[in-house]
Each structure stands twice: as C-alpha cells, then as structure tokens.
C-alpha cells in the first residue's frame, strides 16, 4: 500500500465476451518503491497483494518488457478471500528496491456461472451486467478504468460514474473513467442489452373451469427462465382467480423475459392491449404473481392506479403463501388449493 511505501497505479480494461459468457479483465500495473534507504536500513518489496472483484478466476501475470538479469518470471496466486473480494498475491520475481519501478500485466476472468437470476455477473447474448473496480494503492491517484462492449449492445451505467458511451472504429461501445482521484474507492455497475429473438415455450392452465393458454418468451441463453416461471403461472393463476372471486379475463396470456429497461424501469409490467406481462430477468416470484394479478387489476375494476397496485400486491402475497414459496422462490411446502 502507499502507506507502506509501495504505490500502485493501473489501467484496468474490462472486455465483454458474450460468446464465452465472461468478461476478460486486463490490468496494466505500475508498482513503485517510494521508501528511501538509510545507513541503517534497506527497503525492498517482493510482491503486491491485490483485492479483485469477487468471483475473479484464472489470474495470470506477465512482466512488461524483457526480464531483468537474475530475475525470475512473476507469478500470481489466489489467497484465502472473503465473499466480498478475491485476494491475489503477485510475486514480482525480483526485489523491488528503493526508487525502483516494475510494470506488469495482470489478467483474470469474471465468468457468468448461471444459477441465481439476481446474480451480480451476467454475460449473455441478450443482457450483460457486472461490477467494475479500479485497482490502486490507497492514497494513489491516476488509475483508469475502461469497459468495452461488442457491437450491438445498448450500454448504460447503473451505478457509479463512468464517461458517456463512445464508439470505436470497429463498432465496439466503450466507457472510460479518465484518471481517478481516488481509484481505491472507485466502483461501478454496468449493463448492456441487445435485441434477440425470444425462445417460445407453450403451456396452459385451468382457471375457474376455463382453459387459459400461456406463452412464455425467454432469452435464448436462458431457457431456465421459462422453467422457473411456468409453474408459478400454471399454479398461481387458479389461486388468484379463486381468491379474487372472478374468472380470468381472457383465454390467453403471454409472459416475456425482459430487462428493467424493457419494463420502463420496473421489475415487471402488464400490457393490457397485448395481454403481455414483461418481467425483468432477475424479478422475484412475488413480482411475477403481482403482474399476474394485474390481469384483473388493470384499470377495468378500479379507476385509481394506487388501488389496482395495492390489490395486486395483496393477492400476489396471498398466492405466494398459498404456493408455499418464500420471496427467494424456494419451495418449502406443497401448493395449497383454495382461498388464502
């Protein structure tokens, strides 16, 4: 750290690789020993410990330029880490003496491992979302961050501060931080989305004695989305109809995977004109049932929006309890038919 006399300044580049479901991170680092030797002591460093993003994997390091005489190749290893970061130790391969500087390149991967819909790292052909950090020693300014999306993504910064999107000569979309005054505390969260053809899955359910045809439209890289939502609607719509006391208003319903951009900034939205529910990819079971309840509460029963929202929420929570679902979507008891 700077306090111990070792300063670190870096240029970190995050390159989105949707075909490999990952982000490749390339960090060019400059380490300088700023301690001055005295007649009684000599100050040297042989390594630097760096906190990378949680989930960082497959780190490797190379030295910039030719290997100095008598030096070994640098190495990197992952150390015992917490859930909020990945700690790596970069061994320089030689002693960094007073006033000396060493430049090296650290590379690692942020891999989309699937699973939880609300996971922090998501990299696919339709949607991309992941956190971004700068790397530097405390109290050292000047580090930069660059994020590169391939052609076709509409890119935004959901949290933190990065410059506006620009385009490269190859059509890539690029976000840049510029030199950071306090890079050790810099964090951002970026998103990208592009249009694709949805994968269609058909299902049906019986609501108050009438058949309702369900069409699920999922992103190509995420078939599990339809698998997760299908039982919620197949089992939830009959429960909602029984509790509300009215038949389902129609014979069809379409449920489409989207992002919060596609839902106007909400986790879900019901379009009465097309009888389509658009649900954000990371929305909870409760949100899905809330939007299902809007098939009844959409302005046709109650004029005031607040009332429609309130009743949709009340019945959604009731259906979630009747289905034996926790807010996380974990099934804890069998579904319970009848009123709740």
Write down how long the chain is.
340
Asked if 217 contacts 257 with a C-beta cutoff of 8 angstroms, the reply is yes
Res 22: pLDDT: 96
Res 237: pLDDT: 94
| Residues 265-292 pLDDT 10s | 567 888 888 999 998 888 888 889 999 9
pLDDT at 176 over 90: yes
| Residues 46-62 pLDDT 10s | 999 999 999 999 999 99
Using CA atoms, how far apart are residues 299 and 295, in angstroms rounded to an integer?
A: 10
Average confidence score pLDDT of the chain: 87
Res 332: pLDDT: 38
Q: Which residue has the tokens 């002693």?
A: 95
Res 2: pLDDT: 42
Residue ranges of the alpha helices (H) in the chain?
224-244, 285-293, 305-322
The pair phi, psi for residue 122, each rounded to 5°, is -130, 120
Using CA atoms, how far apart are residues 69 and 7, in angstroms rounded to an integer?
A: 24
The closest of 160, 140, 126 to 281, measured between CA atoms, is: 126
Handedness of CA 231, 234, 239, 241 (dihedral sign): positive
Report the predicted TM-score, pTM, of the whole model to 2 decimal places: 0.79
């Amino acid at each position: 750290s700077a306090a111990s006399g070792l300063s670190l300044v870096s240029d970190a580049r995050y390159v989105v690789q949707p075909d490999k479901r990952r982000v490749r991170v390339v960090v060019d680092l400059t380490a300088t020993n700023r301690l001055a030797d005295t007649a009684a002591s000599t100050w040297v460093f042989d390594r630097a410990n760096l906190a990378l993003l949680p989930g960082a994997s497959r780190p490797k390091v190379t030295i910039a330029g030719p290997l100095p005489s008598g030096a070994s190749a640098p190495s990197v290893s992952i150390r015992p880490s917490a859930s909020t970061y990945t700690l790596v130790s970069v061994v320089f391969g030689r002693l960094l003496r007073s006033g000396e500087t060493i430049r090296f390149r650290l590379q690692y991967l942020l891999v989309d491992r699937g699973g939880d819909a609300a996971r922090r790292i998501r990299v696919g052909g339709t949607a991309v979302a992941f956190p971004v950090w700068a790397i530097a020693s405390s109290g050292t300014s000047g580090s930069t961050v660059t994020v590169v999306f391939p052609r076709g993504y509409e890119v935004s910064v959901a949290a933190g501060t990065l410059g506006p999107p620009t385009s490269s000569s190859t059509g890539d979309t690029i976000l840049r931080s510029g030199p950071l005054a306090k890079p050790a505390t810099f964090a951002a969260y970026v998103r990208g989305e592009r249009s694709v053809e949805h994968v269609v899955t058909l299902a049906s359910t019986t609501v108050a004695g009438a058949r309702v045809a369900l069409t699920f439209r999922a992103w190509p890289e995420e078939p599990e989305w339809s698998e997760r939502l299908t039982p919620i609607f197949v089992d939830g719509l009959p429960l909602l109809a029984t509790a509300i006391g009215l038949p389902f208003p129609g014979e069809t319903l379409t449920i489409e995977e989207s992002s919060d951009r596609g839902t106007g900034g909400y986790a879900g939205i019901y379009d009465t004109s097309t009888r389509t529910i658009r649900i954000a990819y990371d929305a909870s079971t409760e949100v899905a049932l809330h939007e299902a309840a809007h098939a009844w509460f959409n302005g046709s029963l109650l004029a005031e929006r607040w009332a429609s929202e309130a009743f949709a929420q009340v019945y959604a929570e009731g259906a979630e309890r009747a289905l034996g679902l926790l807010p996380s979507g974990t099934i804890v008891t069998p579904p319970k038919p009848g009123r709740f």
